[in-house]
Each structure stands twice: as C-alpha cells, then as structure tokens.
Structure 1
Amino acid sequence: MPETGDAAPDFTVPLANGDVDSFTLSERLEDEAPVVLAFFPGAFTGVCTDEMCTFQDRLAAFNDLDATVYGVSRDSPFALNEFRNQNGLEFGLLSDYNKDVIADYDIEMDFADLGVYGVAKRSVFVVNGDVEVTYAWVSDDPGVEPDYDEVEAAVEDAA
C-alpha cells in the first residue's frame, strides 16, 4: 500500500462521467492536483452510497481548494454512471473492473461469506501534482467511513 511520501502508482481506467472516457492519473494530475482517490467496495450498497454522497455534499469545499475528487470501485463504468445518476454525483467515478489498481494499491478485500472477491477496501489517497501520496487512509472494516474533515485538511495541506 502506498504510504504518505510514496509515489502514487499510475494507472489508466475507464472514467464514468455521464459518458465513458479514459482516465490516466499522471495526466490528470497536471491540471487537477491535488486529486482525492476515494476507493469503495461497491456501488449501490449502503455505506458506499453514504460515503459517495458525503463526498458530493462536501464537493464545494474540495473545489474551493482546487482539488478533484474521484470515487474508485470494481464496478463497470456503465453501472457507475447509473450510480452517479441515481445519487446526483457531480464527480467522476473510476472503474477498476480488472482489479489492477486495487492490486497496485494493495487494498484488495473479500466478502467470502457472500462469494464476493477482490473488491477495494474503503480507502482514501490524496495525490499532489508531484505524483506524491500526501495522505493515505485504509480501513479493514468496510462499515467505517473516512474522517471527511481529516481528508479535507489533507487536501488543504497538499494544495
């Protein structure tokens, strides 16, 4: 798992933004840093919906800091677009359908009792324009949401 001060693993995945585009972290950092990568296990689930809606509710604060928020999950970009639409999310969602990013960030978890394998642990990484992780939070408990004030403070420090 990347720690604070490490270089963020670069990746290219589909971006669900109402359409489906391509997203490459290193390219986006040129204009959108700092970037908040909020990994979540799965769209349309209770805690994940609450988390993404809370980021939406706080989006103005992140925008005021010139930060860009992205949610990241294993869901397909098509499912993520529907999730965005149903929840009024104005930020992009990244589809790590092949689990490459989850593997690179070493945040894979399973819900073996449900037969669900290889989803993202609930995690937040803030990456600055130098491709450096300036904040890293990973929960082993999928029912725990991040400390949003702490994330916002980390973004302010990275800006």
Structure 2
Amino acid sequence: MAATGDAAPDFTAPLANGDIEEFTLSERLDDEAPVVLAFFPGAFTSVCTEEMCTFQDRLAAFDDLDATVYGVSRDSPFTLNEFRAQNDLEFGLISDLNKELIEDYDIEMDFDDLGVYGVAKRSVFVVDGDGEIAYSWVSDDPGVEPEYDEVEAAVEELA
C-alpha cells in the first residue's frame, strides 16, 4: 500500500472538470503541488457525496495553501462530470475506470454483499512537489470520512 514517505505512483487518467482532459500526476506537480488525491468508492453514494462536498466546503483553505484537490474513483469521466455538476464541485475528479490507480496505490476493496468489486477504499494522499507522499490515510471502513483537519495540516506543513 502506498504510504507516507513513498514515491507517489505516477499515472495518466481522464480528468472530469466539466470537460474531459488527460491528467498526468507528474506533469501537474510543478504547478499544482501539493496535490491532494481523495479516493472514494463511488459517485452518488451518501458518504462519498458528503466527503466530496466537505472538500468543496474547505476548498478555499486548500487554495490559500496553494494546494490542489482532486477526487478519484472508478466512475466514468461522464458520470463524474454529472456528479460534479449536481454537487457544485469546483475541483476536478479523476476517473480510474480501469482501476489502475487503485491497484498502483494498493487500495482495492469489494462490497461482496452488493456484488461490487474493485473499488477504491476511502483514502487520501497528499503528494508534494517532488512526487513524494507527504501524508496518507486509508480506511478499511467505507463509512468513515477522513480527518479533514489532518489533511489540511499535512498540506500546511508543506507550505
């Protein structure tokens, strides 16, 4: 599992930002670091919606620290654009439709009782300008949200 102090696995994936663009982590670090990658199991579910809306509510604090927030899930970029629109999210959402990021960050989980497999554990990684994971949080309980103050403090330490 990707952890604090590790090199962040680099990736290229679709970015839903109202349009659909290609996103490559290593290419964004010079201008956007620290980067907050907030993985969530699925759009339009209660806890995931609450989490992404909470990041939106706190976006000004991350902006003040020159950090960039991205949500990440296995949903298609089209689904993520609709999710952004319905929840007035101003930050981009990265589509891991092929679950490559979930595998690279080693955060895969299943909802056996629902027949849903290979989604992201709720996780947050803060990546610094050198591509190192400065903060990591991974939950085995999909109903638990991250400690937002901890994420913000980790970003603040990099400022």
TM class by shorter chain equals: over 0.9
Matched ranges for 1:8-157 at <5 A: 8-157=8-157
1:64 is displaced (CA, Å) by 0.1
Give 1:121's aligned amino acid. K
Give 1:46's aligned amino acid. S
What is the CA–CA distance in structure 1 between the aligned matches of 2:80 and 2:155, rounded to whole Å? 25
Gaps of 5+ in 1: none
Give 2:10's aligned amino acid. D
1:47 is displaced (CA, Å) by 0.1
Give 2:12's aligned amino acid. T
1:36 is displaced (CA, Å) by 0.1
Secondary structure of the structure 1 residue equivalent to 2:113: helix
1:101 is displaced (CA, Å) by 0.3
What is the CA–CA distance in structure 2 between the aligned matches of 1:75 and 1:57, rounded to whole Å? 22
Give 1:51's aligned amino acid. E
CA offset digits 1:84-111 (Å, max 9, x no partner): 0000000000000000000000000000
Match of 1:3?
3
Percent pairwise identity: 83
Secondary structure of the structure 1 residue equivalent to 2:10: coil
1:72 is displaced (CA, Å) by 0.1
Secondary structure of the structure 2 residue equivalent to 1:103: helix
1:158 is displaced (CA, Å) by 1.9
CA offset digits 1:2-35 (Å, max 9, x no partner): 1111100000000000000000000011100000
What is the CA–CA distance in structure 1 between the aligned matches of 2:3 and 2:45, rounded to whole Å? 28
Alignment root-mean-square deviation, CA? 0.4
CA offset digits 1:62-100 (Å, max 9, x no partner): 000000000000000000000000000000000000000
What is the CA–CA distance in structure 2 between the aligned matches of 1:22 and 1:56, rounded to whole Å? 22
Gaps of 5+ in 2: none
What is the CA–CA distance in structure 1 between the aligned matches of 2:25 and 2:113, rounded to whole Å? 33
1:37 is displaced (CA, Å) by 0.1
Give 1:41's aligned amino acid. P
